[in-house]
Amino acid sequence: MKIALMVAARTDARKQARELRRKGWTYDQIAQEVGCAKSSVSLWVRDLPRPAPNFASQERAREAARTRWDPVLAEREEHRKRVKEEARAEVGQLSDRELFLVGVGLYWAEGTKDKAYARRERLVFVNSDPDMIGLFMKWLDLLDVPRAHRRLSLLIHESADVEGAEEFWAEVTGIPRSDFLKTTLKRHNPLTIRKNTGVDYHGCLVVKVAKSADLYRRVEGAWCGIVGGASRRAVEMSA
């Protein structure tokens, strides 16, 4: 008798599950309503066509998510901006010495370095970030590098707005396009999926400093001084 009741209950649950599935209910919803395992629901209704997506329900779910997360994301963005602004304000005005040291670190991270097997004692700086280029140019001003010794050229994909990019870098550097060296075009490879596209893509600017061997040696020496100074400071702080 008990087994018969169990079979009848399972039959009723299967019938109810199939009816709910025809109404477009999901496996999770059916399992919760009927009070059975999701695997059982899947077995009972697998021959039925999959219900069409309920776009209205999906939009309501997205709207509920936006209502829940928008205030959280707004607070995070406000916090992000506040931290950045506080850090910017802490820096304040740079002294000549601070700008010199920042420029040395910038060059040693992004500029061309001399190698024992390939002598390159000449300042060559390549970057696509206008702030980096602008800072590098101010650093050259600090070092009294004549504008005539600054040789600029553009490296850019051939499919980009070359003329617009040249105008962009001329504005960033304060050096007219007419003084730029010949632009180098990178050939397009159709197999490559490029992400550096759109109106914000201006290629890379190459800044070569003529007659800069002694200046390069000074930069390399200053970098060694920075590394040594940081090491000594660490030793002193641990003593």
Please state which of the ranges 55-59, 79-83, 86-90, 122-126 shows the lowest mean pLDDT. Answer: 55-59
Q: How far is CA 114 from the centre of its chain?
A: 30
pLDDT above 90: residue 65: no
pLDDT above 60: residue 59: yes
Q: How far is CA 213 from the centre of its chain?
A: 35
What is d(CA 73, CA 43) in angstroms, rounded to the nearest whole number? Answer: 41
Percent of the chain clearing pLDDT 70 (strictly above): 90
pLDDT at 1: 54
The answer to whether 190 touches 220, Cβ cutoff 8 Å, is no
Read off the pLDDT band of 123 (50, 70, 90): very high
pLDDT above 70: residue 62: yes
Element (H, E) at 204: strand 204-209
pLDDT tens figures, 163-210: 999 999 999 999 999 999 999 998 877 666 666 667 889 999 999 999
pLDDT at 54: 67
Element (H, E) at 110: helix 96-110
Fold of 2-45: Arc Repressor Mutant, subunit A (1.10.10)
pLDDT at 187: 84
CB proximity list for 105: less than 8 A, separation 6 or greater: 223, 226
Q: CA 116, 122, 128 angle in degrees (round to 5)?
A: 110
For the chain, the structural domain boundaries read: 2-45, 96-238
pLDDT averaged over every residue in the chain: 89
pLDDT above 60: residue 5: no
Report the amino acid identity of residue 228. G
Q: How far is CA 142 from CA 65, 83, 102, 179, in A?
A: 53, 30, 12, 21
What is d(CA 209, CA 125) in angstroms, rounded to the nearest whole number? Answer: 9
State how beta strands 184-186 and 204-209 pair.
Answer: unpaired
Counting runs of H as helices and runs of E as strands, what totals does the chain give? 8, 4
Q: How far is CA 199 from CA 96, 132, 147, in A?
A: 35, 19, 29
What is d(CA 173, CA 169) in angstroms, rounded to the nearest whole number? Answer: 6
Read off the pLDDT band of 4 (50, 70, 90): low
pLDDT at 13: 86
pLDDT at 56: 67
The maximal CA–CA distance of the chain, rounded, in angstroms, is 103
SS3 label, residue 40: helix
pLDDT tens figures, 66-117: 888 888 889 999 999 999 999 999 999 999 999 999 999 999 999 999 988 8
pLDDT at 9: 66
